[in-house]
Structure 1
Amino acid sequence: MHKNLKIHNKSDKPDNIVLKENSIIENCINVEKQLPKYMKDFFVYLKSAVVSSTRLAYLEDILFFCKYLVNESDLTTSTSCTDISIDEFNNIKARDINLFLGDYCSRYYKKTNKNTQVFENNNRSLARKKSSLSSLFKFLYRNEQINQNITDGFNPIKLPKPQPDAIKRLEIDEVAKMIDAVESGQGLTEKEKIYWKKTKLRDKAILILFITYGLRLSELRELNISSFNFTRGEFKIYRKRGKEALMPLNKTCESVVLDYIKSERTNSDYLEVQYKDALFLSLQNKRMTLKAIRELVIKYTSIAMGIPRGSGYSPHKLRATSATSLIQYGFSIYDVQNLLDHDNVTTTQLYAAHKKNVKREIVKNFEWLEDKKE
């Protein structure tokens, strides 16, 4: 990948979004160079079949499989992935894939100069690798490059059904404690308070946006000042699969964002060109990293729940908090699905299951007849 990738942006998307997309594409190209040339038709197919992030995930899974063929199996005589022949691919059987997924991938080792690391994949990760390989082998068969479609012989991988009770999220009172912590600094260590004094308005805006809109981590990180139209009371976000969405601004969110911009954020005149429009800045006056935002959320959620720092919740748990809170306040699952951009309403229904507990509490505390004891 080119370290200093520059783009000539002719779209109406902000530069940071276009740069992010092109960075993923550069990574895809880099992985493709490490794979056999006869897969080029498959690479072209992926460009139009899936979004760039999925394309990269598929390519990385296929490269991982090819490295397995070279280093761990007797299915090829090649010493590099680029040299694996189409004839060798044609001789691969479903059983070979099943052994790769079920035996090797579930637990494998990587040796470094100092030690040996053990890696494990859960069923969800194995299912994605299976999907990547299925896509490749089906394409090679349709493209008449191999003689058989072996994917029907791939073993099924059972995924656990998500349980509503297992969904981790903050309770309403814990949300209040979290906001109080970012406003007052209560619960922070003396060292943390040094940085908090410089970033409390930024941190508050980040947390409020997370719990109000259920934004994904990447959606929040890529926000710009120009994303917000305060006159119209809305802001634009860029979601998965390149979708754009306009989100309405309520008074709370407008207030915390404006407060941060006017009172704490470094004036854009003093920033490097690529960061002039970035909304959330680090103390180094650069766009905040995903890691920094994640650590910020973990810190404040741990204070809210009264647990050790490392046990706090990730931004995705604030997304779950937003979903369950909205449903508890009476919004329909379809409204919440639309706000949070769930592909399937069944995902939203998992959060709706928590509403049953609310109903139980209401009925329990709303008795018409007194309990008569003889």
Structure 2
Amino acid sequence: MEYEKKTLKIHNKSDKPDNIVIRDNNLIEECIKIERMLPKFMVDYFIYLRGYVSTTTRLAYLKDIKFFCSYLIEMKEHTAADNIKYITLEEFNSIKSRDVNLFLGDYCTRYYKQTDKNTLIFENNNRALARKKSTLSTLFKFLYRNEQLNSNITDGFNPIKLPKPQPDAIKRLEIDEVAKMLEAVETGYGLTEKEKVYWRKTKLRDKAILALFVTYGLRLNELRELNISSFNFSRGEFKIYRKRGKEVLMPINHTCELVVRDYIYNERPQSEMLEEEYKDTLFLSLQNKRMDPKAIRQLVKKYTSISMDTSRDNGYSPHKLRATAATSLIQSGFSIYDVQNLLDHDNVTTTQLYAAHKKNVKRDIVNNFEWIDDTDTNDIEKDIKIPSND
């Protein structure tokens, strides 16, 4: 007897839009799917993760644990199981610090996967290794505190040195390059004839996307999830959903209001022409669906490459426009704490990296903070008598 696949319906009683609820639900479903693949003795840890970290971080942790368990199966040194689900707590108890260090320092740095046609080579840099180490540290510490493991082996994990972020390595557009980018989307300058075919259909949408990116430093998904109902033009604000599900109201400036309204009223298809799921979606693809992340990245890469006079492959990502917003705001005189709040940086040291781009900051401050009027200083200069060295 065949059963029809049921469509997922969201009974949304929250004030969050349906697309945010569906997005969060999809992440949760993916977490549950991985949890079912992992050993049952980790169930208490899964419950701990639900209350301790955001859903995106929880998913990343679970993927790392699944990867580690798959490694144990592949090495055949600590388990007799042929499926990660059947790894036992006793077998996990046999794992030592050295085993984890070998996994992180030897296996993860460069490993291979076989497909039907190819051998794939994977490499992890120190940042990726540090995240895997953090995942395993939380797992082993929890199992020890939960009286499931006999000892806490995490003290023996080797340190992983991360390169110190260098301000000069931060890639962003200069002020004149931002102007050139916005001119390109306005006029079609720098686009190929083939690109102009699509540009004529989407230039107002693209202009609104770029303006929001460089003004607010939005993350890609924060912009992608915007709806028409996110904007309250009478109040001069719009709502975004940050990482960890934070709901934030942002004031909308005159320029961004103009370009968003221009797109809504003069280019975006009327809502009655759209499928129910996308009637409220702000940024639509040419297929009248919510734009996917890849399309937004390609859009940004195209226009930033024109602004920097480089190839499309060397164009910038949306995250570089986030860096552009940060440095531009700081260079305009806003404090790092104001910029930290606007961009939702967890730590002000992240914002300080962008502040380092502002050269001669002390000189700029004192030169623009004169207590005495120019005419008075001219009179004073005339009256100054410089003593002779004779």
Shorter-normalised TM-score: what interval? over 0.9
User: What is the Cα-based RMSD across aligned positions, in Å?
Assistant: 1.7
Q: CA deviation at 1:73?
A: 4.0
Alignment equivalent of 1:251, drawn from 242, 249, 254:
254
Match of 1:43 among 31, 46, 50: 46
1:28 shift after superposition: 0.2
Q: What is the alpha-carbon distance in structure 2 between the residues aligned to residue 328 and residue 46 of structure 1?
A: 40
Task: Give the equivalent residue in structure 2 for 1:284.
Answer: 287
1:74 & 1:3 partners in 2: Cα distance?
43
Distance 2:13 2:31 in 1: 22
Q: Give the TM-score, by structure 2 length.
A: 0.91
Specify the alignment match of 1:101 in structure 2.
Answer: 104
The equivalent position to 1:127 in structure 2, one of 116, 127, 130, is 130
Taking the aligned partners of 1:296 and 1:309, their CA distance within structure 2 comes to 10
2:233 to 212, 218, 230: 230
Deviation of 1:356 (Å): 1.7
> What does residue 54 of structure 1 align with?
57
Amino acid aligned to 1:26? E
Shift of 1:34: 0.7
- Where structure 1 has 5 or more consecutive residues not aligned to the other structure, the ranges are 370-374
Flag the 1:349–1:299 CA change in 2: closer, same or farther, 3 A.
same
The one-letter code sitting in structure 1 at the alignment partner of 2:13 is K
Equivalences for residues 80-159 of structure 1 within 5 A: 80-159=83-162
1:211 lines up with 2:217 in the alignment: no
Equivalences for 1:68-83 in 2 at 5 Å?
Answer: 68-83=71-86
Secondary structure (helix, strand or coil) at the match of 2:345 reads coil
The superposition leaves residues 279-307 of structure 1 with CA deviations (integer Å, 9 ceiling, x where unpaired) of 00000000000111011000100000001
Q: 1:315 to 1:40 in 2, by over 3 A?
A: same
1:18 to 18, 21, 30: 21
CA contact (8 A) 1:182 1:300 kept: yes
- Residue 361 of structure 1 deviates from its aligned partner by 8.9
Q: Which residue of 2 is the match for residue 372 of structure 1?
A: none
Deviation at residue 5 of structure 1 after TM alignment: 3.4
SS of 1:33's equivalent in the other structure is: helix
Runs of 4+ in 1 over 6 A off after TM superposition: 358-364
SS of 1:282's equivalent in the other structure is: coil
In structure 2, distance between residues paired with 1:91 and 1:341: 42
1:217-250 Cα deviation digits (max 9, x unpaired): 0000000000000000000000011111110011
* 2:266 equivalent in structure 1: 263
Q: Distance in 2 between matches of 1:234 and 1:279?
A: 15
- 2:316 aligns with 313
Give the Cα separation in 1 of the matches to 2:12 and 2:298: 32
SS of residue matched to 2:121: strand
Post-superposition offset of 1:357: 5.0
Match of 2:166 in 1: 163
Q: Look up the SS of the partner of 1:335 in the other structure.
A: helix
Larger C-alpha radius of gyration, 1 or 2?
2
CA distance in 1, matches of 2:158, 2:9: 44
The question of whether the paired residues in 2 share the 8 Å contact of 1:5 and 1:23 is answered with no
**Whole-Å separation in 2 of the counterparts to 1:188 and 1:359:** 41
Which of 296, 301, 306 is residue 298 of structure 1 equivalent to? Answer: 301
- Measured after TM superposition, the shift of residue 6 of structure 1 is 2.7
The answer to whether the aligner puts 1:329 opposite 2:332 as a matched pair is yes
Q: Which AA in structure 2 matches 1:328?
A: Q
Q: Is the 8 A contact 1:324 1:351 kept in 2?
A: yes
- Residue matched to 1:179: 182
CA offsets per residue over residues 192-219 of structure 1, 9 Å max, x none? 0000000000000000000000000000
AA at the equivalent of 2:82: T
Q: 1:294 corresponds to which letter in structure 2?
A: R
Distance 1:228 1:59 in 2: 35
Q: What SS does structure 1 have at the residue aligned with 2:359?
A: helix
Q: Secondary structure at the match of 1:356?
A: coil
Q: Which runs of 5+ in 2 are unaligned?
A: 368-377, 382-390
- Deviations 1:129-171 (CA, angstroms, capped at 9, x unpaired): 0111111111111111110110000000011110100000000
1:196 partnered with 2:194: no
* Residue of structure 2 in register with 1:273 after alignment: 276
How far residue 80 of structure 1 moved from its aligned partner, in angstroms, is 0.5
CA distance in 2, matches of 1:25, 1:59: 11
Give the number of equivalent residue pairs: 365
Displacement after TM superposition at 1:358 (Å): 6.4
In the alignment, residue 298 of structure 2 is paired with which amino acid? E
